[in-house]
Amino acid sequence: MTTYRVLRSSRFVTVLAVLSFVFVMISQTSPGQLRARDAGVRVGSLSPGPLNAITDVAGVRVGHTTLTNGQSIHTGVTAILPHGGNVFRERVPAAIHVGNGFGKLLGVTQVQELGELETPILLTGTLSVWKVADALVAWLLAQPDMEEVRSINPVVGETNDGFLSDIRARPVLPEHVVHALTNAAGGRVQEGAVGAGTGTVAFGWKGGIGTSSRKLPDKTGAYTVGVLVQSNFGGELTINGVRIGRELTGQAATHSSKGTTGLTTKAVTKDSPIASHTGDGSIMIIVATDAPLSSRNLERLATRALAGLARTGSNLSNGSGDYVIAFSTATECRRRQGETSHRTTELANEVMTPLFQAVAEATEEAIYNSMFTGRTVAGFRGTVEALPVARVLERLKRAGALHPVSAAERQR
C-alpha cells in the first residue's frame, strides 16, 4: 500500500513514497458517505444502475491518486479507462463538446478529427496537465506491442485547484499517474475530495469527484449511461429546482493573506450569506455509454450533459472551462488497429432522446454527489467548508423536493 507525502524546499519539490497516510484518508472518504440519492434527492425519472456510477457501464474502470501535505498540497490524478484492453490498439468512438473553452484540455483536435479515443482519460490540476500527459505517454509506450508506435494523443483534462493547493509546486510525478492507471477498477467509485477532486471548489463549497448513472428501460434499449465529474465551478447552487445557494448561511470559504486564483470569496459572519463565487473555475464531465454510437451521436450526447450542469445553477462563466468527453464502449463500434475497414452498428437519430435524458439526469446527480460527499479542507490560501448537508436537506424538505428513503435503500 503506497501513498505520497509532498515535501517542499525553497527551490524545488521532492516527493517521497511513504506508507498508509493518503490511503487511510481515501478510505475515510468512501464508506458511509451520504450520497444525494441516499439522502432522498431524486433527480429525474430514470433509474440509476446498480452502483449509480460510471462503472455501471461494463468494462469502465476508475483509479485515483491523492496527494496531500498539510495545508499546502491538495491535488491528485483520476484515471478513466474505457475497457480492460489496450485502448491504443482497440480504440473507442468518442467526442468532445466544449461548453466554454477557458481550459487546458489536451488532445481535443485529434479526437474531433478522428472521432476516437486512443488513450485513457486523465484528470488533474491545471499546471500538472503536461506532466500527467508525458507520464501517460511513457506508460503507454511501455505496454506490450507498442514498440513501433511513434504518435500518441493523450487526453488529459483539468480544473484549477490553486485555492486549496500550491498549484505552482506541480507535485504530480510519473509514479502518481501510473498508480492511478494500474489501480483503476470497476465497482464502487470513491467520491468527494479524492484524486483530481482533492482540491476543487464548487459554488464556494467543497467540490470534488462525483459520479452517477442511468439505466434505460428495456423498451428503449436497456442501455446504460454513466457520468463522472470533477467539479470546480460556480453560479447559484440549485438542487432539484430549489435555489439553495442564496439561502444557505455560514462561511463557505475563508481568505488567507495570500489571495486567490479564480475563486472570489469574502469573510462572513455566522449568519451572513455564503461566500460569493464568480463561477470562474471549471468542470470536467466524462460520459460513458454501452449504446452503439458514432462520434457524431456521441457529440450530441455530450452536448446534453450541459443540460444537467445548468440545472445545478452553473452560469458557465467567462473564466470557467466546461468540457464534456463522451465515449461508447460497445464492442461492435470499436476500432481495432490493423483493420482496413470498420463495420459498426449505429443507433438511429430517432431513438437518441432517452439517452439525452439519461445523460442530463446523471450529470446533475453526479455534481450533487461530488458535493454531498465532500469534506472541509484547510488549504494553501484558505479553508473551504463541506456543503452543510443537513441544512440543504431541511430546505429541500420544506420545498417538497425531498423523496422519502426506504429502509431497504438505507441498507444498500
What is the CATH class of 44-335+343-400? alpha beta
Residue 263 φ/ψ, nearest 5 degrees: -120, 120
Of 344 and 211, the structure prediction assigns the larger pLDDT to 211
Condensed to tens digits (0 to 9), the pLDDT of residues 112-149 reads: 999 999 999 999 999 999 999 999 999 999 999 999 99
Q: Check 231, 282, 295, 314 and give the catalytic one.
A: 282
- Output the average pLDDT for the chain: 87
Indicate if 56 belongs to the active site: no
In angstroms, the CA 108 to CA 95 distance is 9
What CA–CA distance (Å, rounded) separates 70 from 380? Answer: 9
Residue 122 half-sphere exposure, CB side, CA atoms within 13 Å?
A: 35
- pLDDT of 342 > 90? The answer is no
Classify strands 2-8 and 155-159 as parallel, antiparallel or unpaired: unpaired
Q: Active-site residue among 213, 295, 322, 328?
A: 322
Least confident among 4-13, 222-231, 285-294, 360-369? 4-13
Average of pLDDT values for 261-290?
60
In our burial notation (b when 16+ CB lie closer than 10 A, e otherwise), range 32-46 reads ebebbbebbbbbbeb
Tell me the per-residue pLDDT of 225-250, one tens digit each, with 9 for 90 and over. 999 999 999 999 999 999 998 888 54
282 as an active site residue: the answer is yes
* Catalytic choice (165, 314, 320, 370): 320
pTM metric for this prediction: 0.89
Q: Which residues pair with 196 in a beta bridge?
A: none
Would you call 161 a catalytic residue per the annotation? no
Taking alpha carbons only, the member of 305, 319, 172, 290 closest to residue 229 is 305
User: What pLDDT band is residue 409 in, cutting at 50, 70 and 90?
Assistant: low
* C-alpha dist (Å) from residue 74 to 124, 157, 198, 349: 11, 17, 5, 43
Integer Cα distance of 162 and 72 in angstroms? 10
Q: What is the rounded average pLDDT of the residues 26-44? A: 76
